Structure 1
Amino acid sequence: MIRRPGPAVLGLMLAASVAVAEPAPEVAAGCRALAGVLGSVSMADCLEAGLEPAGGRTVQGRPILMREYPPLAPREPQGRVLLLGGIHGDEYSSFSVIFRWMRTLDVHHSGLFHWRVVPGLNLDGLNAGPAVRTNANGIDLNRNFPTPNWHEHQQEYWVERTGRDPRRYPGEAPLSEPESQWLFSQIEAFRPDAIVTVHAPLGVVDFDGPKTPPRRLGYLDLHRLGAYPGSLGNFAGLNRGIPVLTLELPHAGIMPSHAESAAVWRDLVAWLSRHVRNPPDERPSGEEPPQRIAAGEGYSTRDSCTICQPDDGSLRQNCCLRDTAWKLLLE
Structure 2
Amino acid sequence: MQLCTQAQLKDSGARSVKGQPIYTQDLPKADAKMRVLVVGGIHGDELSSASLALHWLQLAKEIPADAHWRFVPLLNPDGLLMSPARRTNANGVDLNRNFPTPNWEREAKIYWEQKVKRDPRRWPGPKPLSEPESKFLHDEMERFKPHLIVSIHAPYGVLDFDGPTAPPAKLGRLYLDQVGIFPGSLGNYGGVHKGMPVVTIELPSAFRTPLNAEMRQMWLDLLRWMGERLLKPADIQAPRKNNNF
1:92 to 44, 47, 53: 47
Q: Partners of 1:223 and 1:55 in 2: how far apart? A: 36
Q: Residues 85 and 198 of structure 1 are in contact (CA less than 8 Å); yes or no, is this contact kept in structure 2? A: yes
Larger radius of gyration: 1
Between the aligned residues of both structures, percent identity stands at 48
1:246 is aligned to 200
Taking structure 1 as the reference length, the TM-score comes to 0.71
* Residues 144-293 of structure 1 aligned to structure 2 (within 5 Å): 144-277=98-231, 278=233, 279-281=236-238, 292=242
Aligned residues: 242
Q: Distance in 2 between matches of 1:184 and 1:211?
A: 22
What's the CA shift for 1:71? 1.5
Task: Find the counterpart in structure 2 of residue 27 from structure 1.
Answer: none
Partners of 2:65 and 2:222 in 1: CA distance: 16
Q: Distance in 2 between matches of 1:55 and 1:195?
A: 21
Tell me if the contact between 2:65 and 2:223 (Cα under 8 Å) persists in the aligned partners: no
| Bigger proportion of residues as strand | 2
Separation of aligned partners in 1, 2:144 and 2:13: 14
Partner of 2:97: 143
Question: Given residue 12 of structure 2, which amino acid in structure 1 is its aligned partner?
Answer: A
Match in the other structure for 2:15: 57
Deviates more, 1:252-261 or 1:190-199: 252-261
Residues 94-121 of structure 1, C-alpha deviation per residue, up to 9 Å, x if partnerless? 011111111112222x351000011100
Structure 1 residue 182, shift from structure 2 partner: 0.3
Structure 2 runs not aligned, ≥5 long: none
Between 271-280 and 53-62, report the one with greater CA deviation: 271-280
Query: What is the TM-score normalised by the length of structure 2?
Result: 0.95
Q: Distance in 2 between matches of 1:190 and 1:103?
A: 21
- Stretches of structure 1 that go unaligned for 5 or more consecutive residues are 1-41, 282-288, 296-331
**Cα contact 2:3–2:55 (8 A) shared by 1:** no
Partner AA of 2:154 in structure 1: A
Pair 1:80 & 2:35 matched: yes
Q: Which runs of 4+ in 1 moved over 6 A?
A: none
Give the Cα separation in 1 of the matches to 2:127 and 2:136: 15
Contact 1:203/1:249, CA 8 A, preserved across alignment: yes
Measure the CA separation in 2 of the matches of 1:209 and 1:65: 26
| SS of residue paired to 2:181 | coil
Give distance in 1, aligned partners of 2:120 and 2:221: 36
Q: Distance in 1 between matches of 2:33 and 2:138?
A: 23
